[in-house]
Amino acid sequence: MAIATLKAPLRWLLRATVDGSKLFTRGGLRAFTTRQFASIAPGADVLLVGAGGEINGLLLRFARERGFAVTQIDVDPARNPDIVADICDWRAPAAYDVVVMCEVLEHVHAPARAIESVLLPLRPGGRLIATVPFIYPIHERPVDYFRYIKFGIRRLLAGFESADVRERDSWPEAMLVLGVRTAMSGSRRLAAVSPLFVVAALVGYPFAWALGRLFPADFLTSGYLVTAVKGGGPPG
C-alpha cells in the first residue's frame, strides 16, 4: 500500500505512525550501525550492498566525516547505486576493507552466493557488518524471501574466520515491534488503527524492557546484528 494514495488526514497520521514505529523497530539496529560505522578507519574502501535508506545514509555521513570511500551496489537502478548488479552473481573487480549489508539478505534470492560474492573481495582481516530480520513482518513485497535464525547465519558465514551474531532486541521488545509494524501491513483498515499499537507500545515499553532483562531468553528477537572477519590478518 502506497501512503501517497491515501487521503491527506490518514496519510499524515500513517506517516507519523511509521516514523514513530521506528523508535521500536530500529532502535537496536541504529545503535549497532552507529558504533560499527564509527569504527571504520579513514582511508578504508567500503562496499555497501543495497543503496538508499536511512541506515545507508548514516554510513555515507560517516564516510564524509571520517574520510573513507563507499561503493554502492544494488540490483535496482532507480536507487542510483555506483554499480547496478545482482550481488548473487556479481564478482568484484576491486578489493575492500569492509562490506556493509544492512537489511539486505532477506531480499536476495541466493543468500549463500551473496555471501560468497562479498567474502571474495574482502582483504585479509576485512570485516562484514550486517543486520538481518528474524521475527519480522513481510516488507518490500514481493522481493522478501527469507528469515534467519542465528544458527543459520553462522552457517552462512562459515567461510569467515570469526562471526559474532547477537539479538537485536529482547523477546518482549520483539513483540512490540510486531505490533507497531502494522502501519506497514498493506491493509488500509489495519493502517487506520495502527496508531493504537504505537501508543500501546509507548506505554508498554518500560515493562517490556525490564521483563527482557529480568528473564533473558534467545528464543525470540526481531533480528540479528552481525559482524564477521575474514581470515589472514588485518587489512592494513
Q: What is the pLDDT of residues 97-154, one digit of tens each?
A: 999 999 999 999 999 999 999 999 999 999 999 999 998 888 888 999 999 999 999 9
Nearest to 62 by CA among 27, 89, 37, 33: 37
Half-sphere exposure of 103 (CA within 13 A, CB side): 19
Is the confidence at residue 1, as pLDDT, over 80? no
What percentage of the chain exceeds 70 in pLDDT?
85
2 confidence band (pLDDT: 50, 70, 90): very low
49 HSE (CA, 13 A, CB side): 32
C-alpha cell at 210: 525490564
Residue 215 CB partners (closer than 8 Å, separation 6+): none
Average pLDDT over residues 185-201: 76
Place of cell 502494522: 182
pTM of this prediction exceeds 0.85: yes
Q: Which architecture characterizes domain 3-229 according to CATH?
A: 3-Layer(aba) Sandwich (3.40)
Domain boundaries, the chain: 3-229
Report pLDDT for 137.
Answer: 86
